[in-house]
Amino acid sequence: MSWNLWWRFGDWQARRRAILAVLAAAQPDLCGLQEVWADRDANLAEWLAGELGMHWAWGPAGEQQGWHDRIGDPSVDFGVAILSRWPIREPHVAELPDDASRPALSALIDAPHATVPFVTTHLSSMPWHSGRRIRQLTWLAEHAATRSVDAHPPVVTGDFNAMPDSDEIRRFQGVLTEPAYPGLSFIDAWRFADPADPGFTWDRRNPAVAVGPVPSARIDYVHIGLRWHGPGQVRSVRLAGTEPVDGVWPSDHAAVVADLSEA
């Protein structure tokens, strides 16, 4: 599962309960989270993991000032996180190229069927940042390759802030072009969905999206390294968090949930 949690915007205390409800219903084994907050008293990832009985890891952004300025609170830090049913080993956080406010968190997940190399991240967001996102995704593909293991292909999740036919996404996946890292192509899990379903993770049905000028789009992903055999084949994919919970929208993004094979 991959989900952007909209940091500390809106009624974040009510949203925190709605986020927990969506995660409890989805029951992901492994989850990459973006826009995760931490303050002096609590870390959202730690709280969610405690409520759900999961392991967790946290990756703060290297540059926090811009995020502090957006909510007027220097005591709250911004980052990404991993939740897992299984032990998390060797977590590593890094800044993405050209934007220290955007982190990537990787780890090895000791699942019963295989060690899973797992990455979650949050790319630069402005439409004119395509070239920057290409550099970020090139780095990300190289990093995923260094964490790769024989038993399971790497899984890369996140808010990529780019649509499927963009230069940066095609380059990362190796679709109709050479892949960003030689010999490593990625499958977009949503390609296994109903072709009639656009899979909008940024959807103007959500009031937090509708107030802005940007149209609905699919910008959040679960990517799996392409292998012909073995675990990590996409069996199904769907969205979660697409409706209010007790009148509260949990985030401005929907989550992507992919079911992968264990053999």
- Mean local confidence (pLDDT), 108-123: 97
| pLDDT at residue 9, rounded to an integer | 96
Domain count, the chain: 1
pTM for this prediction:
0.97
Q: What are 203-216's pLDDT values in tens digits?
A: 999 999 999 999 99
165 pLDDT tier (thresholds 50, 70, 90): very high
How large is the average pLDDT for residues 85-93? 98
**pLDDT at residue 161, as a whole number:** 98
Q: What's the domain range around 100?
A: 2-260
Is the pLDDT reported for residue 149 higher than 90?
no
Segment 114-121 mean pLDDT: 97
Whether pLDDT at 148 is above 90? no
Q: What CATH number has the domain bearing residue 110?
A: 3.60.10.10
SS (H, E, C) the chain: CEEECCCCCCCHHHHHHHHHHHHHHHCCCEEEEEEEEECCCCEHHHHHHHHHCCEEEEEECCCCHHHHHHHCCCCCEEEEEEEECCCEEEEEEEEECCEEEEEEEEEEEECCCCEEEEEEEECCCCHHHHHHHHHHHHHHHHHHHHCCCCCCCCEEEEECCCCCCCHHHHHHHCCCCCCCECCECEEEHHHHCCCCCCCCCECCCCHHHHCCCCCCECCEEEEEECCCCCCCCEEEEEEECCCCECCECCCCCCEEEEEECCC
Highest mean pLDDT among 31-35, 150-154, 179-183: 31-35
Mean local confidence (pLDDT), 69-93: 97
